[in-house]
Amino acid sequence: MKKGSDRFMALIVQKFGGTSVADAQRIANVADIVTQAYRAGNDVIAVVSAQGDTTDDLEAKGREIDPSPSRREMDVLVAAGEQISAALLSMAIQRMGFPAVSLLGWQVGLETTSAHGEARIRRVREDRIRKELDQRRIVVVAGFQGIDRSGDVTTIGRGGSDTSAVAIAAAMHADLCQIYTDVDGVYTADPRKVPGARKLDTISYDEMLELATLGAQVLHNRSVEMAKKYNIQLEVLSSLTRKPGTIVKEKRNMEKMLISSVTKDENSARISVIGVPDRPGLAFKIFSCLAAKGVNVDVILQSIGRNGTKDISFTVTTDKMEEAIGLLQEHLETWGATSIVSDENVAKVSIVGAGMETHPGVAAQMFEALFGENINIQMISTSEIKVTVLVNKKDADLAVRAIHEKFFGAD
Amino acid sequence: MKKGSDRFMALIVQKFGGTSVADAQRIANVADIVTQAYRAGNDVIAVVSAQGDTTDDLEAKGREIDPSPSRREMDVLVAAGEQISAALLSMAIQRMGFPAVSLLGWQVGLETTSAHGEARIRRVREDRIRKELDQRRIVVVAGFQGIDRSGDVTTIGRGGSDTSAVAIAAAMHADLCQIYTDVDGVYTADPRKVPGARKLDTISYDEMLELATLGAQVLHNRSVEMAKKYNIQLEVLSSLTRKPGTIVKEKRNMEKMLISSVTKDENSARISVIGVPDRPGLAFKIFSCLAAKGVNVDVILQSIGRNGTKDISFTVTTDKMEEAIGLLQEHLETWGATSIVSDENVAKVSIVGAGMETHPGVAAQMFEALFGENINIQMISTSEIKVTVLVNKKDADLAVRAIHEKFFGAD
């Protein structure tokens, strides 16, 4: 941070998603946001995603040629999307009378692994961006794309522009990384479902990570992890409302609030393997057989052994259910288990909050709220700052409202 | 050139224009042409333009944001077009089971001046392309784009992919540079207009240059100049018919044919400045006033002075006529000239042929053919290997046929 003669000057990274740059009018709106920060005396780096459905359209073009195209060439193809939006935003900023320059992944020197389509960022070179900032230019970076050690174009996976932005913020020692989305912050619960839901002023990295894992599509998981690692202050805010959003940072002064947010995830299915012989290593075999095929399991419950057998239950995302059941069926006989039972009619309801680390009894309050509405809990999973319960899908919205009222009170 | 055990192996550059890669089916056709050359044992570099109207569409996107956008950003924007088609062609080749790799302007190391939108090629680095060819990969290069010394994306102007292809052919010491277009070669006259028109097997660089200048849109002028300079053998052929096209090369054994081609150009207008005082320097002033505003003039005719005045006539392209007249009007009084007369109802008919350098009387034969059809010649212009006459537009097709019959005989 630098102190100006009469104003606070900082280096700010601003990331704009695909809907924020979907057409000429929205690009003009983004240019207005960017130049406002610039006019206030800040150095500004804008990181952009591809416009609207561009990435999907380009992928479809590739798959029309080859249903399973080379990932290297697919990266070259889709990287054109961010190239286009970066050039357009730079033009829009210049049109408003401010100096701007677009930079692509290879120009920024955003170096990644060679895992095309899901590359990991190794480092971001400082020199080119610094040179442009030193000339008081607004730097517009094409997100999502990088370059590997062979000089090939890579992309860093879905939601990658968030991660690009945080990586650039870390490399450039930015004071703030703003992630502009179509919501205006992080809420105590889904405001469309829970009337009393409140926007949070701040949330910790760990809480945000738990929320991202729980399917809140506000921030990409990897970007939060990286922000935490490099202690980059994030702000989640809307490109339309122009109001302060939610700051994501390391909370040093723990607040009184026990929990930050109540969430619901209906994209889960429960699978139970029934009658598993009570022998060591079988649970390991079950989960490693799924992991080997890339099926992630979540909430796990193992019944107490009875008659020398036990039942092992867990959740998977709905789209992986059929595949998981197929994999388990193959080995059922070998393991000596009886049968497989599944249920898609479930939902995960979770509370997340750094406060619960130091305040016992938070889970109990959650269960009390559910009991008060006569909602049956099928499974329970906890971490230091999260409690998740599995309930019947029809009870999920009521469960969220009841828990929200318990912790935040009716609005 | 290398001799294989039982076959001729060469390095071939193949360039495909926007219509040749307009959709998935045409890209598959191009992949077939490329792999056919590869299967025959050749090393192959394919240079591609953007698909169909992509360049125009991207430019329109930019102009929607800013009617006169930064040329640097416009280059970043439109370069996405060739990036997309290069990735798609590489995928199509791989889909057929052959190894391919796409390379963008900066990856090829096609270094240019910084004149965005109309950059000149400085040099092409050999190393990356060579590395890929050494691994027997088909290299697909995004045409039209390069990189300047600051590491910025540049484009080399309309028709630039032809020039990219020839520059790469020169740098890599290719044996042949094939330019695939929508016509199957260079003809003695427009085959749609002249029934007896024949496809030429070969034509010299100089003849091809004269034809390019005369508006034959077969090859871009700069590409022919560069091919001549580096002695790169070109072949103009169709991506659809798969027949041998026309070879453009230095003709060492001059053929008997006096002329190569008869052409017509209806995109000309005649302007006459009447009653120009017969003073030294006035002709210079007239043409420099036009040149200063970028108006190119062609066939020039100056009448013999009479009563101390003369008339100066010349042709411009039709789209520049109004501008030229406006510029001349501004100075008419200063010069002491009387008036300006113009006529859009004219056409240029030309014969081109390296043979006429050594055979006097070629122009006379052309005039005889026109006389035989009672066609009036308004103006005449000649170079070593070209004779151009200006005739009334209604006579142009008849003129071409009569001249063609004179030199090539009825078919």
Chain A neighbors of B87, CB-CB under 8 A: 62, 73-74, 76-77, 80
User: Beta strand A176-181 with A11-16: parallel, antiparallel or unpaired?
Assistant: parallel
Of the candidate ranges A214-218, B77-81, B307-311, the one whose mean pLDDT is the lowest: A214-218
Contact B24 A76 (CB under 8 A): no
Contact A87 B102 (CB under 8 A): no
**Which of A54, A84, A154 should one mutate to test binding to chain B, selecting the residue with the greatest count of B CBs within 10 A?**
A84
DSSP string, B82-129: HHHHHHHHHHHHHHTT--EEEE-HHHHTEEE-S-TTSPPEEEE--HHH
Contact A58 B84 (CB under 8 A): yes
Contact A94 B28 (CB under 8 A): no
Contact A94 B70 (CB under 8 A): yes
Looking at residue A375, the DSSP 8-state letter turns out to be P
A-chain residue closest to B78, CA distance:
A84
**What is the per-residue pLDDT across B13-61, written as a single tens digit (0 to 9) for each?**
999 999 999 999 999 999 999 999 999 999 999 999 999 999 999 999 9
Residue B7 has a pLDDT of 47
Chain A neighbors of B70, CB-CB under 8 A: 90-91, 94
Contact B91 A28 (CB under 8 A): no
Residue B147 has a pLDDT of 97
Q: What distance in Å separates residue A12's CA from the closest CA in chain B?
A: 22
Query: Is the Cβ of A72 closer than 8 Å to some Cβ of chain B?
Result: yes
**What is the per-residue pLDDT across B334-381, written as a single tens digit (0 to 9) for each?**
998 999 999 999 999 999 887 777 777 788 888 889 999 999 888 888
**Which of A34, A48, A66 should one mutate to test binding to chain B, selecting the residue with the greatest count of B CBs within 10 A?**
A66
Residue B173 has a pLDDT of 95
Bridge partners, B181 (sequence order): B238
d(CA A370, CA A7): 51
Of B58, B94, B151, the CB nearest to A66: B94
Q: What distance in Å separates residue B87's CA from the closest CA in chain A?
A: 5
Residue A182 has a pLDDT of 81
- What domains can be seen in chain B, in order of their start residue? 2-181 (3.40.1160.10)
Q: CB neighbours (10 Å) of residue B410?
A: 8
Residue A138 has a pLDDT of 98
Residue A7 has a pLDDT of 47
Which tokens in the block code for residue B75? 């280059």
Residue A83 has a pLDDT of 98
ipTM of predicted assembly, 2 dp: 0.79
Q: What distance in Å separates residue A219's CA from the closest CA in chain B?
A: 28
d(CA A373, CA A365): 13
Which tokens in the block code for residue B5? 């055990």
Please provide the size of chain A in residues.
Answer: 411
Q: What is the pTM for the complete model shown? A: 0.81
pLDDT band at B259 (very low <50, low <70, confident <90, very high): confident
Q: CB neighbours (10 Å) of residue A397?
A: 16
Chain B neighbors of A125, CB-CB under 8 A: none
Per-residue pLDDT of chain A (411 residues; tens, 9 = 90+): 444 444 457 999 999 999 999 999 999 999 999 999 999 999 999 999 999 999 999 999 999 999 999 999 999 999 999 999 999 999 999 999 999 999 999 999 999 999 999 999 999 999 999 999 999 999 999 999 999 999 999 999 866 899 999 999 999 999 999 999 888 888 888 888 888 888 889 999 988 888 876 655 678 888 998 999 999 999 999 988 888 999 999 875 555 567 888 999 898 999 999 988 887 778 888 888 888 888 888 888 777 766 778 888 889 989 899 999 999 999 999 998 999 999 999 999 999 887 777 777 788 888 889 999 999 888 888 887 888 899 999 999 999 999 999 888 854
**Looking at per-residue confidence, does A192 or B159 come out higher?**
A192
A window 9-28, beta carbon within 8 A of B? 24, 27-28
d(CA A345, CA A350): 17
Residue type, A252: R
d(CA B237, CA B184): 4
Question: For residue B245, which phi and psi values (nearest 5 degrees)?
Answer: -100, -140
d(CA A19, CA A239): 10
Q: Is B359 helix (H, G, I), strand (E, B) or coil?
A: coil
